[in-house]
Structures are given as C-alpha cells and as structure tokens.
Amino acid sequence: IYASVAAKKKRTHCSPNKHIEVPLCNSGNITSLLNEDNLFLCYQPKIEIATGKLIGFEVLSRLCIQGDGFIYPDKFIPLVEDAGLNCQLTKLVLSQALSQWHLFESLKDYRLSINISASDLLSDEFINYVIDKHLANADIKLMLELTESQQTINEDRSLQAIAKFIINDIPISLDDFGKSYSTLDRLDSIPFDEIKIDKDFVSDLDKNHQHQAIVESIIALAQKLNVKVVAEGVETLSIQNHLLKMGCHSAQGYFISPPIEGRYLMSWINSYNH
Ligand code: C2E
Ligand code: CA
Ligand code: CA
Ligand code: CA
C-alpha cells in the first residue's frame, strides 16, 4: 500500500484541491498534526448570480504535511471531532483567515465565511473568542457557516449561541441545507442570514427533475422567509442558468472557481473583476 501511495504521489502534482491519500493521519496523531504550521487554507468565491458580482469567499481547510501532501477535511474533520479538537481547529482557521484578509485592503470588500461545527456552539469560551475576534477586526465582514446535526441545533444552548452571534452582527449561514429536515421548523424562529443548498442537489440540477423540484421549493421557502439562498456545487453554466431562472441569489462552485490558495487569491480576484 505504501509503495503504491508513494508511486501515485510521484505522478500527482501536489495541489490543495487534489485528494492525495496521506497514510499518516489517524486518531493517534491528529493532536500533533493539528497546528498552525500544518493548517493550509483555501478560499472559494461566492458570486451574485444575476450580476456576476463577487460577494465573498468560503474558507476551506486542508492539513499540509511537509513532504507528504495534503489531508482533506473529509478525512481529518471526523478525527478532529472525535478528539474534541474542533474549537481549536475553528480558532486556528479564524485567526489565519483574518491575517490573510489583512494582507490586502481590497479583500475587505468581500465577506469571509468560516465553517463551524455544531458542537462548537456548546463552548462559551469559543463563542466569546469568535465575538472578540469579530470586534477586534471590525473592518472585516465575517459569516459563520453552520452545519447542524439534528440533536445539537435543537438544544437551548445552541440556540442561545446562534442568537448571541446574530446580536453581535455575525451573520449565520445554514449550511448543507436539504440534507436534514430538522431545520425546517427552526427557520422561522432563528434569523439565519443565508441558506446554503447542498451540492448533492445542485451538481446535477440540469438533468435531475427531482432535484430541480427540491431546489425550487427551498428557494420559494427562503423567499417567503426573506432569507438569501446560495447554491454550492455549481459546476456548469447550464446549472448556473437554471438557478438564475429559479431566482437563486448566489452561487459557488467549480464553474466559478475551485477553492483558491491564499497566495493566488488577489490575482484571481483581479482577473475575475476585469
Ligand atoms: P462544505 O462546507 O459543504 O463545503 C463544500 C465542499 O464542496 C468543499 O469540499 C468544496 O471544495 C467542495 N466543492 C466546491 N465546489 C464544488 C463543485 O462545484 N463541485 C463539487 N463536487 N464539490 C465542490 P472540501 O473542501 O473537501 O470540504 C468538505 C467539508 O469539510 C466542507 O463541506 C465542510 O463541511 C468541512 N470543512 C472544510 N473546512 C472546514 C473547517 O475549517 N472547519 C470545519 N468545521 N469544517 C470544514
Ligand atoms: Ca460550508
Ligand atoms: Ca458542511
Ligand atoms: Ca455541502
């Protein structure tokens, strides 16, 4: 196995969007792997569909192990959660992304969205950390993308945490919408700023009539509740045009751009805006 992984690595150009299997990430060493030096952030643009205007970026994490390549969130997030390290991850992501946003004044035009875990909401220390960072970086527009799991979002403590963020002007995006039904009854009681339709319903939208019907109802529901809808997983112009016709506000996906490394971010923005 190791020999074939090594051979595969030799053939594969090391890119943060290419999933290279790194055999060295497991529950035994995740604690030592998760640190500032290994954390590698990419930024995926979000645009307003009707105008093409660039509105923000979602931060997507990778672990970059020197000489070994990249470890992807699908592999390391479950290990991070099991080890109880997700608040630590979010703090590292938040502070590194804020540093990136301070590098160029023009980045402050764009909203910076960070993924948080539902279990983060159970830590008062974490909530205060985020609010302090937000207050200390008032010139940067933050957003939190929350993927809720059935149990956690219904807990009073989670609802209080969400309310605290919203009161402090940190908007919340309800991530992976459509994958779970539990949020429907919460939509009228929590003023989410955005609903993000999961890519499972979007990436074959132009061919799958069932998915078209689901996306249409999510958009209609969101419009009634006055919440913006963003579709992730927009891979083609045809899908983007379908979404435009359906009245979807914004889009994210490979058709616009894959997640971009920090060092290429400004040049990507400059060429997009020209
Ligand atoms: P997500 O929040 O639903 O993010 C969207 C995922 O879809 C990302 O995968 C992104 O690279 C990928 N994607 C973007 N555009 C397209 C497209 O057009 N087609 C397809 N098929 N996929 C697309 P990634 O980067 O592997 O992240 C996977 C998940 O890991 C994320 O799902 C998010 O839930 C989680 N994640 C990533 N970074 C963080 C983090 O810093 N903290 C936490 N708590 N979770 C994170
Ligand atoms: Ca997300
Ligand atoms: Ca998610
Ligand atoms: Ca998703």
pLDDT 10s digits, 152-172: 666 788 889 999 999 999 999
- As a whole number of angstroms, the distance between CA 181 and CA 173 comes to 16
Q: What is the ipTM of this complex?
A: 0.97
| Residue 190 Cβ contacting ligand 1 at under 6 Å | no
Q: Taking each helix axis from N to C terminus, what angle separates 124-136 and 156-167, rounded to the nearest 10 degrees?
A: 10
pLDDT for position 8:
41
Q: Which residue has the higher pLDDT, 121 or 184?
A: 121
For the stretch 67-86, pLDDT in tens is: 778 999 999 999 999 999 99
User: Which residues have beta carbons under 5 A from ligand 2 (an ion)?
Assistant: 115, 145, 175
Task: Locate the ligand 1 atom nearest the alpha carbon of residue 61 and give its number.
Answer: 38
Q: Residue 147: nearest ligand to its CA?
A: 3
Q: What is the pTM of this model?
A: 0.91
- State the pLDDT confidence band at 183, using cuts at 50, 70 and 90: low
Q: Which residue has the higher pLDDT, 32 or 170?
A: 170
- State the pLDDT confidence band at 191, using cuts at 50, 70 and 90: confident
- State the pLDDT confidence band at 15, using cuts at 50, 70 and 90: low
Three-state secondary structure of 222-245: HHHHCCEEEECCCCCHHHHHHHHH
Mean pLDDT of 242-249: 98
| Residue 178 Cβ contacting ligand 1 at under 6 Å | no
Instruction: Identify the residue whose C-alpha is closest to ligand 1 atom 41.
Output: 61
**44 C-alpha to ligand 3 centroid (Å):** 14
Beta bridge pairs of residue 39: 63
For the stretch 99-125, pLDDT in tens is: 999 999 999 999 999 999 888 999 999
Of 92, 75, 61, 89, whose CA–CA distance to 22 is shortest? Answer: 75
Q: Which residue has the higher pLDDT, 252 or 29?
A: 252
**78 C-alpha to ligand 2 centroid (Å):** 15
**194 C-alpha to ligand 4 centroid (Å):** 14
**Which sign, positive or negative, has the C-alpha torsion 158, 43, 200, 89?**
negative
